[in-house]
Chains A and B, each alone.
Chain A
Amino acid sequence: MPKDGGIGASTKRREDVRFLTGNGRYTDDINLRGQAHAFFLRSQVAHGKINTIDTSAAEAMDGVIRIFTAKDFEGVGGVPCGWLITDKHGQPMQEPKHPVLAEGKVRHVGDPIAVVIAETLDQARDAAEAIDLDIEDLPAVVDMKAALSADAPKVHDELSSNLCYDWGFVEENKAAVDEAFASAAHVTSLELVNQRLIANPMEPRVAVGDYDPWNDNSTLYTTSQNPHVIRLLMGAFVLGIPEHKLRVVAPDVGGGFGAKIFHYAEEAFCTFAARQLKRPVKWTSSRSEAFMSDAHGRDHVTKIELALDAENNFTAIRTETYANMGAYLSTFAPSVPTWLHGTLMAGNYRTPLIYVNVKAVFTNTVPVDAYRGAGRPEATFQLERVVDKAARELGVDPVELRRQNFIKADQFPYATPVAVEYDTGNYDATMDKMLELSDYAGFAARAEESKKRGKLRGFGIAHYIEACGIAPSNLVGQLGARAGLYESATVRVNATGSISIYTGSHSHGQGHETTFAQVVADMIGIDAGQVEINHGDTANTPMGMGTYGSRSLAVGGSALVKATNKVINKAKKIAAHLLEASEADIELADGKFTVAGTDKSVDWAGVTLAAYVPHNYPLESMEPGLEETAFYDPSNFTYPSGAYGCEVEVDPDTGEVEIIGFTAADDFGNVVNPMIVEGQVHGGLAQGIGQALLERCVYDADGQLVSGSYMDYAMPRADNVPNYTVDHSCVTPCTHNPLGVKGCGEAGAIGSPPAVINAVIDALQRGGHSHVTHIDMPASPSRVWAAMNAK
């Protein structure tokens, strides 16, 4: 049994108390004295030339303080992109400027044109309507393939085309892959769409800029997953404010899922405007605004081919993907369809030859960037769909076809043909676990029972691999990242023994305040209540990269372990001095330092007090105090994996799909807080089920956003999803981080979409609709019905 509050315990979350009593402090809850309100006037057309912006009438309106347009941003940088992709010819991607406010042209519905600052938000909005815009409509490009045709209108006139890059991976393998296809016994191919999604954290984005003339410092309060990244990008690239004059605070943040990683124009704007006006400036996004200004996710169109030999061994995979970048490059956009997607195309299989081609395309739509899973769900969906389709074509059991091609437990570490090396895994174990927990053996009987009720039952399987905690920094630097990917922690031990932790990681639902405290408390053997976790404020946390890519515990937790070990080492030295023993003989257990083999001991607080009141202290050899900082740069990604099983019932009259059961058997390596890990999986599953059955961001041919609110964008509700069966008892600990943890935040969203769609196809096939081999997501009732009835 894990210790109460220690590693492995389902410790209740301490942060819950404030959230449950209305005492959370989200950015919109922050109101500064003298604060003015910003309203962004946004483009209503997808593509247009800005002839004139006449703000004179608006300026005269009640409460208006000032109106900003692009001309106020001369000399200010554009919103930067954090990842440079080199194309298959060795050329850098095309990288257009992303101005804070539209310059000369608007490029998507929602592109900000002007900002009104007024005493109240309503006044700002009233005045924005009085701005006289002369915008000349230009033809919009929405469809990616059309955008690449020679006569397509250009989103950015200064670029040679709408192609951002044409990436080949691994380009050197292309000929060998083509050869393998030429000699294959069987080829299964599938064209599919990984539809555009909107992350929709329930808290809309907010930014409050503040300026202090006393010291010329700026502060930005923002809904961010990574305040240090925002400070670096905004300070260095946009506004030219050095870090020591800029503080970024991300207080309680109401969910992120990727959409709050990126540096957004509104953040730079509020910081800039506060400096100009010498008063705080607040912007709060409405949900409608969020739909057209938060970065979107996914939006890939892919053709995947799988080659098999006569024994059904996978011999090669070839894909061609069109990836929508939207109108500008969001912070990490270029990396998503490339390094976060191509490197995962081996999945759990031994396929020896893989070639991935990705064409990234500019269109007149909202920028697209990472959304929960980022690239990995796209890879997994292709693979697990094509494998399922192959099994069906070959008439073999989809479980057996997967097993036959799995990388086996004794083959790790395993280097894939797409440049990564998996450290550990046991895919048969997770597959077995899932089949057992979902009572796969009893499926046929359940299907029979459904049939009696006129319903079609199906079972779908997916096995995923994920790569978390993008690393190491020197490698990702070579791949084009313009940032490091380490994490940091400061462990400040207070005189009486309590501990204040400062982490560069960020929690917006993941429960760091609880789990990080569990880790430290466990290592030292003190009560977790003695440990406080601070995050989200660049003024007191060491430079860190924040939270995304399921990296917090694997990378941030490792930094924390490193820093805590440094503290423990120093504390042992102090204890040795106090106990007049050799340091090598000092043992730490249950918050007590003991001289091995004796009953001589000093407790934790005795040592910490000595560190700060160094009356009896080896001052000649050691500094007083007990505070350490560590930076951890992982040597490899971590590779969680898992088997997902989904059971559905389809109503043949309406095409409606009901999820009857969902089983997830994951291998996350070691688990610090099972309760939180399960919660992360649940949330990921709901988002994956949402993608599979409900969610779709739709533009019409003119670039108008059709699904611009929850009236048309179907969010999963409580009655759309089942009780999930989740398990994490299959454990192959990560071999290269101190906790042996892998990351669990995105898994659910990665593994579930193919499991759901495979189940829908299975149900239709069993129901006699053998012509249905694929349905694009979301498998909405109308689509399922149309597929069944397509003859």
Chain B
Amino acid sequence: MTKVTLTVNGRSMSGQAEGRTLLSSFLREELGLTGTHVGCDTSQCGACVVHVDGQAVKSCTVLAQDVEGANVTTIEGMANADGSLNTLQQAFQDHHGLQCGFCTPGMVMAASSLLAENPKPTEAEVRHYLEGNICRCTGYHNIVKAVMAASGQDVSDTVAAE
């Protein structure tokens, strides 16, 4: 066991890790941050996405010891300072971009990277960027809509007749 210290959501946090301890397990089990989910063991589903030094990564495929000292942001660190949902999170709620919520943390983390890189993506760009995040519930329509809306674009024409 080795001590690993990370800055997580702005706070310095430490825990014990074996060589084989994955960042996802370290966050969930050592630091108690269970918002990061694990949905597969082949690095394909994206439920585990967090930001390491500003970049989206699959935390299930990163060793905790390999990111010693890094700045990590998880879903728990995404809300506004007053605890209210940030623009992207709010858009997910407003546009029903989640159902069971299991893929949601990874979706939000990946989508926020997209918007950082590309503040006004097209719908096709959103769909393409999210190819590493699997959602079984929503059929993606409302996730795409939420991300488009969070980027400040008009999504009214994708709103179904009500």
> In the complex, A509 Cα to B94 Cα: how many Å?
16
Tell yes or no: A254 within 8 A of B by CB.
yes
Would you call B98 and A20 a contact (CB within 8 A)?
Answer: yes
Question: Given the known A-B contacts A675-B96, A718-B126, are A19 and B104 also in contact in the complex, defined by CB atoms under 8 Å?
Answer: yes
Residue total for A at the interface (Cβ-Cβ under 8 A) = 64
Asked if B5 is at the interface of the complex by the 8 Å CB criterion, the answer is no
Decide if B85 touches A17 in the complex (CB within 8 Å): yes
Query: A287 and B39 in contact (CB under 8 A), knowing A711-B44, A718-B127?
Result: yes
Q: Which of B128, B134, B144 contacts A723 (CB 8 A)?
A: B144
Q: Which residues of B in the span 80-98 have a Cβ within 8 Å of any Cβ on A?
A: 85, 89, 92-94, 96, 98
B100 to chain A, nearest CB (A): 3
| A511 vs B127: C-alpha distance when bound (angstroms) | 25
Interface residue SS majority, chain B? loop
**Which of A28, A287, A679 makes the CB contact (< 8 A) with B40?**
A287
Query: Is B139's CB under 8 angstroms from A686's CB?
Result: yes
Check A12 against B93 for contact (C-beta < 8 Å): yes
The answer to whether B35 touches A24, judged by C-beta atoms less than 8 angstroms apart, is yes
Bound-complex Cα distance A679 to B36 (A): 24
Q: Which of B21-42 contact A (CB under 8 A)?
A: 28-29, 33-42
Question: Closest CB of chain A to B116's CB: distance in Å?
Answer: 18
Contact A202–B160 (Cβ < 8 Å): no
Stretch at the interface among B51-59, B62-70, B71-79: B71-79
Is the beta-carbon distance between B134 and A683 smaller than 8 angstroms?
no
Chain A residue nearest in CB terms to B47? A202
Binary interface encoding of chain A residues 694-721 relative to chain B, with 1 for a CB under 8 A from any of its CBs, else 0: 0000000000000001110001111101
B130, B136, B158, B161: the one within 8 Å of A683 (CB): B136
What separation, in Å, do the CA atoms of A682 and B97 have in the docked complex?
A: 11
- Please determine whether A683 and B127 come into contact, CB atoms closer than 8 angstroms: no
A201-B139 contact in complex given A255-B102, A287-B39, A710-B44, C-beta closer than 8 Å: no
Docked complex: A214-263 residues within 8 A CB-CB of B:
252-255, 257
| A134-142, A292-300, A725-733: which lies at the interface | A725-733
Chain A proximity mask over B1-29: 1 for CB below 8 Å, otherwise 0: 00000000000000000101000000011
A204 proximity list for chain B (CB < 8 A): 38-39
Contact A202 B85 (CB under 8 A): no
Contact bitstring A719-761, B, C-beta under 8 A = 1, else 0:
1010111110100000000000000000010000000000000
- The reply to whether the CB of B135 lies closer than 8 angstroms to some CB of chain A is yes
A22 and B131 contacting across the interface, CB-CB below 8 Å? no
Provide the bound-state CA to CA distance between A28 and B47, in Å. Answer: 14
Determine whether the beta carbon of B99 is less than 8 Å from that of A21.
no
Partner of A22, one of B29, B36, B39, B103: B36
Chain A residues with CB under 8 Å of B78's CB are 20-22
Residues of B at the A interface (CB closer than 8 Å) are: 18, 20, 28-29, 33-42, 44-45, 47, 74-76, 78-79, 85, 89, 92-94, 96, 98-105, 108, 123-124, 126-128, 130-131, 133-144, 158, 160-162
The residues of A with any CB-CB pair to B shorter than 8 Å are 10, 12-13, 15-26, 28-29, 31, 122, 200-204, 252-255, 257, 286-288, 508-511, 674-676, 678-679, 681-687, 709-711, 715-719, 721, 723-727, 729, 748
Q: Which 6 A-B pairs have the closest CB atoms?
A: A22-B35, A19-B101, A254-B102, A686-B139, A509-B100, A509-B99
User: Please, could you name 14 A-B residue pairs with CB atoms under 8 Å apart, sorted by A?
Assistant: A13-B96, A21-B85, A22-B33, A22-B78, A28-B34, A202-B103, A203-B39, A254-B102, A255-B100, A255-B136, A255-B137, A683-B138, A718-B135, A721-B141
A22-B36, A24-B35, A727-B161 given; 15 more Cβ-contact pairs under 8 Å:
A17-B85, A19-B98, A20-B75, A28-B38, A202-B136, A252-B100, A508-B100, A678-B160, A682-B139, A683-B99, A709-B42, A711-B42, A718-B140, A719-B130, A724-B160
